[in-house]
Every structure is written in structure tokens, then in C-alpha cells.
A and B are shown apart, each in its own frame.
Chain A
């Protein structure tokens, strides 16, 4: 038999246990909006019983532990999906910038009624229009060799050259901003790796006493998820509850120490890549925003830039081949048409800009009114070029635009798909680890009522003790 004082103790332990339940519920409610928080449960068990002649008698309940409700499988799935979504998001950003840099957009004058036969006046904004205008200007010049047409041809060529320069400059900007985004990813990743090593240490310290470092584990999980957005990582559980992190086959965090960190390096001509800082090993990254950035930069973007350069180079060669062998109306020659050799430096010879009369569009001397070379230049528009895989200038360019469009379109749909996957996974994780306010309120009521009941026990025992004491005075 427990006796009154032991029963009072039982009531007191029960009050403590139920109070812990209310506290944990409060903690869950407080963190309902905290990112990465996993709900906690108090584990209450019956205290050891005492053998009596009439059988074992209970001694109440104690709160054994406060545990997180987490699914490690879902956590590791989320990490791996994060790498994929990080990869495509960075591709999307990079390709979107490239599309803006190319500035090839359609604009219309208004909606077309499907019942009327009128058509929308569609115009494009970028290099394609400039190419068309250039060839048209020379066609007009071949039809009528007037001062105005000569001026128009030179102006069209200047606009074309400037557009080439701008596109190239914009591509360079995109490239350098991708490089800085890579640098900033690497420095964030290093910060996170340092944090993870630190958290491993703290978790070890906290749990070595036998408890659970729930909040620290949440924080570390959040760090791992953020890191996996930047690069795909492999994790393994180490001693003392630590998590070891490996990137591209190189161990970076082992237990509580940061073994190595990441570093960008110039692999030549401004092409930044990632390696380990002290080991210097080139890392083959397989996902995450770093690899997405590198792939977009060295894949689609580099391809575009080289196509545009090739286009400009071929145009310079072809137009100069015709114009430079011609004569101006006064029989003179010697002024090249396009200067430069690619999209970055293409320009129109300033001598011709200052005096379009010196344009050399006559095939021979003493043939001042001959415009046959202007016709030849205008006919380059439809001539397939061996340097452009036997495509025309506009065909090559339009193909380049379409290939960028496809790459971005693909990245867009990958991002959409990945968002759906991530959202599904986080809903699944929410269903296990997330806080539900209704549920917590119900739990609170459960603990509250249990607390009330135990308090009632104290009152009852108190009354009994009073009765016992009263027996003596009577």
C-alpha cells in the first residue's frame, strides 16, 4: 500500500508529466510556422510498480523523453530532389537571362479576331529584324543608287553591327553574372559546411548526456537541405549522432571537423569551375545550382555565343569579299566594308560611314552606276553558307533562337515538374513531421484534463490527510 504521502508524490509526478505534455504542445504550437521544424511528442510511461500482498501496485507516470517525429527516408528524398530542383532553377535563371540578352521577342499590334480575315502585325525586336533590314537596304540600293539609299545601306549595316556588339556584350554580362552566382554559391556552401560540422559537435555534446538535441537536429537537417540545393551531396551517419557530408566523392565534413571546403578556380578564359580547397581535386558535381549554372554557361550559352560569333564572322567575310573587290562611283577602291572579325568587334568602316558615296558596289572601274555588287550582297540573304552548315544567315540565326527557346522551355517544364515533386514530398513530410494546430489543441486538452484530474487527486489526498489529522484533535 502506498500510503497518503506516496499517493501525494504520485499525484505530483503525474502533474509534472502532464505539465511536460502541455509544454511540448506549446513548443509545437509556437513552431507551427517554423521552417524545418519537426513536431515533438512527449513519451509518458507508467512508473515502476511496487509488489504488495494484493498484487503489484502502480506508482503513477513519468515523462521519459521528448522525441521528434521524423522520417529519415523522406528527408533524404527531399535532399536528393532539392539537388535536381536547384539544378533546373539555376538553368532556368541562366537561360532566361540569355533569352533577355538575345532580345528576340515578338510584339503584336493587337488581338486577331478569329472570325475576321485581318492578321496581326507581328514584329520581332532583335537581330533577325536587323539582318532583314540590312539585306533589304542593299536590295533597295541595287534598285536605285541614290544618296538616300547609300546612306540607308550604311545605317542598316551600322545598326546590325551594333546589335551584334550588344548581344555579345549582354552574353558576356550573363557569363560573368553566372560566374559570380557560382562564387556566391560556393561561399554559401562553405558556410553551411562549417555550420554542419559545428552542429555535429553540439549535437554530440547535447546527446552524450542521454537527451535528444531535437532543435539542433532540425537545424542541421535544414542546413543539409539548403546545401543540397546547391550541389548534390551524399550523407552518412557517423559516431555520436553526427552526419558526414561528401560532395562529388570528396569528404568535406567528417564528424565535428570540416575536412575540406569548396573553391572556384579559373579553368582558362574565365571558365570558373569548382574544386576542393585544400585537396585541389576537381569535383564532378552531378546536380544542384552550381552544376546547373556551369552547364548553362558552358552548354547552351557558350553554344549561342559561338553561333552568333560565327554568324557575324561569316557575314563580315562574305560581305567584304564582295564589297572590297568593288569600285566606288569614282572608280576608287580600297575601303573594306565591315571591320572586326566577330560579334564583339564587328563595325562598319568609318570612312564609308562618313561618306556612303565611297561604297564599292560597282563591279568594275568606269562603271559608276553599276549596282551589281549591292544586288550580290542583298542576295546573300538567301544564299546558303558553307561556314554555317549550308544554312542561310537568317536560317542559322533563327535556328539559334529556337534552340535557346527549346532549352529554356525544357528548363521551365523541368522546374514546374520539380516544384510539383518537391511540394508533394513536403506535404508527405508535413503529414509526418508537420504541426497540426487542431491536433495540438486536442492534445492540450488531453494533458489539461489529466493535469486537472491529478490536481484533484492532490485535493483528495489533502482532504484525507486533513481527516487523518482531525482524528487526533477530536
Chain B
């Protein structure tokens, strides 16, 4: 075939363009580590990567939510431990006071101790969540303090009024998995999350039971203590024990969810990597090939272009 002189230059320019753009693409794949950077590089892989990234983003948020709930659960656990101590001691007092050897002075000193416990309970019921500054045990009415006290002339608590509700916030900790670590202080209904201080399901009513114990101690009504208060306080102890156990279960659930999120994160990262990352070895080999082809084109081009009949016409 006849070849026009310019056909060399035109075809060389084309080849150089093609090889240069191939090298550019491969080089950018190697340097970024991604085989897909723009949607047009590989639309399917791009869509897959974006879908996986959305899942990864949600998963990261689940992990963060789990961590938020774990901190809150730890705060609640601290309160539960102190309530456990208080209810145990109240049970002890009810048993000790029921003994025959107590003088009224002894009973009064028990009453003082119970009075202090009630004050501690009020403070515990109004614990705030350090993260949000909201009341921890007020259900979802958490900008209200949990309990408001009524006192007599001597400053003793005669009753408490609950300002919260018994609803709890659900938090997403996994795909299709929500949970709540919140505990309402009072739940007078037979359903929903069990109340910490008052709970209709278990019969717990810690404030009133301790107030009754204190009053009976002050009035020396030992038989009421043994017949009523001791049994009631047992219910409170059981309720707190339930809450401690339940918090432990929740913490285990959170740990499991956290492990799941973490392993899912690894899986998703691997999947994203498979969809969009460069196989470095393969890409380097391709880059070498492209470079070799480029060199060959340059060399053969410069050889052919320098050849002309003019060289021989002297």
C-alpha cells in the first residue's frame, strides 16, 4: 500500500495519545490505589462502592451509637450499684429493727440512717446524663427532674412526685436492631420498661417503702416493720437486682452489637476494596507494558521519521 508521508506522523500522534492516556490512567490507579475514581471508569463498581459506603457509614454510626449507649449504661450501672447498697442496708435495718432488743433510741438512729438514704435516693433519681445534661431516669420527659419531694416542717421527705414518664428512647445499634438502656424511675403501668424506684409489675415502691420504714422506726411500730416493711423492701431489693441484671444483659447485648459492627466494618471495607481498589501487581505489570509500548513507539517512530530518500540524494 502507498503510504503518505504524513500518515507516519498522524498515526504516531494517535499512538502516543493512546499510550500516554493509558499510562496516565494506570499511574493514577497506582497512586490512588483505586481502579475506579469516576463513575465512567466502571459504573457498576462505582454503584457498588457507593452502596457499600452508605452501609459502611450507617455501620460506623451504629458503632458510635453503641458507644454512646455503653457510656450511658455505665453511668446507670454506677447508680444501680449505689441503689443496691441502699436497698440491702434498708433490708438489714428492717430485719435488725424487728429484733426484740432495740430501744427507741436505737430505732431513732436507724430512722436517721433511713432518712439519709431517702435523700440519697432523691439525688440518685435526679441523676443527669453527663453527655446531654438531661435527667437520666425521667423517661422521655428528661428535661424534668425525675422526682420532686414533699417535706414536713422538720425537713423530712414525706412523699415524692414523679415528673417523668415511663417511655424510653430507642436507639439504632444495627441494621433492623434498636435498643434502649434507659430506665424510667417510676412505672405505675403493668407494661413497658420496668421502673427503677416504683414498678407496678414487681410491686417495688422504694421511696414510699423507705418513708414507711422511717416512720415506723420513729414511732416504734416494730410489728409493722416486720409484717409489712421488711417484705416490701424485699420487693425493692429484688427489683434493683433485676435492674442490675438487666443492665448487665444490655451491656452484653451492646458488646455483641459492637463486635458485630466491627466485623461488619472489616467485611464492608474488604468489599469496598474489592469493588474499587487496584490490584497493584496487575496494574504495575500493565503499566510496564504500556511503558514498553510507549518506548517502542518512540524508538520506531524516530527511526522511521529520520529515514528519507533525501538522505541519499546528495
Q: Which A residues fall within an 8 A CB radius of B?
A: 32-33, 95-96, 99, 102, 104-114, 119-120, 122-124, 128-129, 131-133, 135-136, 139-140, 142-146, 329, 362, 366-372, 375, 378-379, 381-382, 394-395, 397-399, 401-406, 408-409, 412, 419, 423, 426-427, 430-439, 441-442, 445
Given A111-B33, A140-B64, A402-B44, A431-B4 contact (CB < 8 Å): yes
Interface of chain B residues 10 through 46 with chain A (CB within 8 A): 10-11, 14, 30-34, 36-44, 46
Are B58 and A405 within 8 A (Cβ)? Answer: no
Interfacial chain B residues near A427, Cβ < 8 Å = 3, 7, 10-11
Are A136 and B60 within 8 A (Cβ)? Answer: yes
Instruction: Choose one: A33, A123, A139; the contact of B61 (CB below 8 Å).
Output: A139
Determine whether B127 belongs to the interface, using a CB cutoff of 8 Å to chain A: no
How many Å from the CB of A108 to the closest CB on chain B?
A: 4
B144-185 contact mask (Cβ, 8 Å, vs A): 1 or 0: 100000000000000000000101011110010010000000
How many Å from the CB of A228 to the closest CB on chain B?
A: 19
* A155, B132: Cα distance in complex, Å: 18
Are A369 and B134 within 8 A (Cβ)? Answer: yes
Are A111 and B273 within 8 A (Cβ)? Answer: no
Determine whether B2 belongs to the interface, using a CB cutoff of 8 Å to chain A: yes
Interface of chain B residues 250 through 288 with chain A (CB within 8 A): 269-270, 272-273, 276-282
Given A122-B272, A124-B50, A375-B170, A133-B43 contact (CB < 8 Å): no
* A437, B131: Cα distance in complex, Å: 84
Given A145-B134, A402-B47, A122-B277 contact (CB < 8 Å): yes
Determine whether B202 belongs to the interface, using a CB cutoff of 8 Å to chain A: no
Interfacial chain A residues near B272, Cβ < 8 Å = 119-120, 122
Using CB atoms, name the residue of chain B closest to A430: B4
Using CB atoms, name the residue of chain A closest to B66: A143
Using CB atoms, name the residue of chain A closest to B47: A402
* A402, B10: Cα distance in complex, Å: 35
Are B134 and A106 within 8 A (Cβ)? Answer: no
Interfacial chain B residues near A433, Cβ < 8 Å = 4
Q: Which of B77-85, B90-98, B187-195, B306-314 contacts A (4 or more CB under 8 A)?
A: B306-314
* A69, B6: Cα distance in complex, Å: 16
Are A120 and B140 within 8 A (Cβ)? Answer: no
Can you report 28 residue pairs joining A to B where beta carbons are below 8 Å apart? Answer: A104-B39, A104-B50, A105-B37, A106-B37, A114-B281, A119-B269, A120-B277, A132-B53, A136-B58, A140-B65, A146-B131, A367-B165, A370-B140, A370-B141, A375-B169, A395-B51, A397-B50, A401-B39, A401-B43, A401-B46, A401-B50, A403-B43, A405-B39, A409-B40, A430-B4, A434-B3, A438-B309, A441-B309
Are B51 and A394 within 8 A (Cβ)? Answer: yes
Instruction: Choose one: B37, B132, B308; the contact of A144 (CB below 8 Å).
Output: B132
Interface of chain B residues 116 through 152 with chain A (CB within 8 A): 129, 131-135, 138-144
Instruction: Choose one: A146, A378, A431; the contact of B132 (CB below 8 Å).
Output: A146
Q: Which B residues fall within an 8 A CB radius of A?
A: 1-7, 10-11, 14, 30-34, 36-44, 46-47, 49-51, 53-54, 57-58, 60-62, 64-65, 68-69, 72, 129, 131-135, 138-144, 165, 167, 169-172, 175, 178, 269-270, 272-273, 276-282, 308-310, 313
Interfacial chain B residues near A104, Cβ < 8 Å = 39, 46, 50
Are B41 and A370 within 8 A (Cβ)? Answer: no
Are A106 and B47 within 8 A (Cβ)? Answer: no
Using CB atoms, name the residue of chain A closest to B178: A375
Interfacial chain B residues near A111, Cβ < 8 Å = 30-33, 278, 280
Are B309 and A106 within 8 A (Cβ)? Answer: no
Interfacial chain A residues near B141, Cβ < 8 Å = 366-370
* A375, B177: Cα distance in complex, Å: 12
Interfacial chain B residues near A366, Cβ < 8 Å = 141, 165
Instruction: Choose one: B2, B34, B46, B171; the contact of A142 (CB below 8 Å).
Output: B171
Are A382 and B6 within 8 A (Cβ)? Answer: no
* A395, B50: Cα distance in complex, Å: 9
Given A122-B49, A133-B57, A367-B141, A412-B40 contact (CB < 8 Å): yes
| 8 A-B pairs with least C-beta separation | A434-B4, A369-B142, A405-B39, A405-B43, A430-B4, A132-B57, A402-B47, A408-B40
Residue of B58, B141, B169 contacting most chain A CB atoms (<10 Å): B169
Are A140 and B61 within 8 A (Cβ)? Answer: yes
Using CB atoms, name the residue of chain A closest to B275: A122
Interfacial chain A residues near B30, Cβ < 8 Å = 111
* A64, B278: Cα distance in complex, Å: 67
* A366, B144: Cα distance in complex, Å: 9
Instruction: Choose one: A114, A397, A406, A441; the contact of B279 (CB below 8 Å).
Output: A114
Interfacial chain B residues near A109, Cβ < 8 Å = 33
Are B34 and A441 within 8 A (Cβ)? Answer: no
Interfacial chain A residues near B54, Cβ < 8 Å = 128, 131-132, 381, 394, 398
* A129, B81: Cα distance in complex, Å: 43
* A122, B57: Cα distance in complex, Å: 12
Interfacial chain B residues near A144, Cβ < 8 Å = 68, 72, 129, 131-132
Interfacial chain B residues near A405, Cβ < 8 Å = 38-43, 46-47
A-B contacts besides A375-B178, A431-B3, 15 pairs, CB < 8 Å: A112-B33, A114-B280, A122-B49, A129-B57, A135-B57, A142-B65, A142-B169, A329-B143, A370-B167, A375-B172, A398-B47, A398-B51, A405-B47, A434-B5, A441-B309
* A433, B7: Cα distance in complex, Å: 11
Using CB atoms, name the residue of chain A closest to B69: A143
* A271, B53: Cα distance in complex, Å: 37
Interfacial chain A residues near B14, Cβ < 8 Å = 419, 423
Interfacial chain B residues near A33, Cβ < 8 Å = 6
How many Å from the CB of B130 to the closest CB on chain A?
A: 10
How many Å from the CB of B186 to the closest CB on chain A?
A: 15
Are A143 and B273 within 8 A (Cβ)? Answer: no
Interfacial chain A residues near B61, Cβ < 8 Å = 135-136, 139-140, 378
Are B139 and A369 within 8 A (Cβ)? Answer: yes
How many Å from the CB of B280 to the closest CB on chain A?
A: 5
Are B39 and A120 within 8 A (Cβ)? Answer: no
Are A139 and B33 within 8 A (Cβ)? Answer: no
Are A406 and B37 within 8 A (Cβ)? Answer: no
* A378, B2: Cα distance in complex, Å: 70
* A120, B53: Cα distance in complex, Å: 12
* A19, B224: Cα distance in complex, Å: 141
Interfacial chain B residues near A102, Cβ < 8 Å = 39
